[in-house]
Amino acid sequence: MASSPRLTHLQSLEAESIHILRETAAELQRPVLLYSMGKDSAVLLHLAKKAFFPGKLPFPLLHVDTTWKFRDMYAMRDRAAAEHELIVYRNPDAAARNINPFEHGSELHTQLWKTEGLRRALAEYGFDAAIGGARRDEEKSRAKERIFSLRSAHQRWDPKNQRPELWSLYNTRVRPGESFRVFPLSNWTELDVWQYIEAERIPVAPLYFSAERRVVRRSGAWIMMDDERMQIEAGEQPEMRRVRFRTLGCYPLSGAVESEAESVGDIIREIAESRASERQGRLIDQDTPSSMEKKKQDGYF
């Protein structure tokens, strides 16, 4: 007998993510899609559009802003806002105290703008499911996170008390105050994301592609001088380098890598040969040992 037709692994991943997005919309009262303008967000938004085609997205997008993203990212956000309902939230506490990565350090900056900002945004709008683009291959503690990951009324993650997920059955029951973080890209790898971006021609921020950029060397990474707020430390010398970013966040905390990759195809080849992990350029993961796990327990994405 001829062998039965089968989906490729990218088709399987796409179908699984669409299934997860539809379950979220069907079972939760008030979901929101966290949109951070990165490549994972771009893929997530693309999948959401596919999941609810020919209808519109049944939930809004939310960007928890830190005011320190790259200018290119804000341009991406404006384009998304033209097409979908998009909420921008800035933690008023962080704004009042003018929190920034230079004077307050990456840990406090991230804590107040991102972790605390997200918590407050979810509470103020009453969202009971926040859909995010995190993947299990990103980091070791993520490898154990569920696709529908329960948060207590205090938005904390308890890794020792997670709901088992069998087949594609998700238990979405919440008690008052509890909420979910939903991760439709859980089973994707960085390479899958780029291959999908290539196959589906999904637009991403130009920062992912190599170009001459003004940078300084800091903590072993290239930091881009994206706007006039950038503070140069003693001994640092701005220079032009051909660099690109593997992940995007706040520009003073995002390390660029030297690269010649100018297209999605180049990036895929580069990753296949790469010997460095994607999060290497992220200064915030290295704050303390197992720092990601701690941040996640506190409610960071």
Among 49, 84, 104, 218, binds other proteins (CB under 8 A): 49
Beta bridge partners of 254: 282
State CA 21 to chain mean position distance.
Answer: 16
Contact 253, 217 (CB under 8 A): no
140 versus 229: smaller Cβ distance to other proteins? 140
Tell me, by CB under 8 A, how many residues bind other proteins. Answer: 65
- Match 């009453």 to its residue by tokens: 126
Q: Does 164 bind other proteins (CB under 8 A)?
A: yes
Residue 232 has a CB neighbour count (10 Å cut-off) of 12
> What is the C-alpha to C-alpha distance for residues 275 and 222, in angstroms, rounded to an integer?
18
Q: Does 231 bind other proteins (CB under 8 A)?
A: no
Q: Does 144 bind other proteins (CB under 8 A)?
A: yes
Contact 259, 242 (CB under 8 A): yes
26 versus 211: smaller Cβ distance to other proteins? 26
Q: Does 189 bind other proteins (CB under 8 A)?
A: yes
Q: Does 10 bind other proteins (CB under 8 A)?
A: yes
Q: Does 210 bind other proteins (CB under 8 A)?
A: no
Which tokens belong to 263? Answer: 């297209």
19 versus 90: smaller Cβ distance to other proteins? 19
Q: Does 192 bind other proteins (CB under 8 A)?
A: yes
Give the burial string for 9-33 (b: 16+ CB within 10 Å, else e).
Answer: eeeebbebbbebbebbbebbeebbb
What does the binding site for other proteins look like in residue numbers (CB under 8 A)? 3-12, 14-16, 18-19, 22-23, 25-26, 49-56, 136-137, 140-141, 143-144, 159-160, 162-169, 171, 173-175, 178, 186-187, 189, 191-192, 195-196, 198-199, 274-277, 280, 289-290, 293
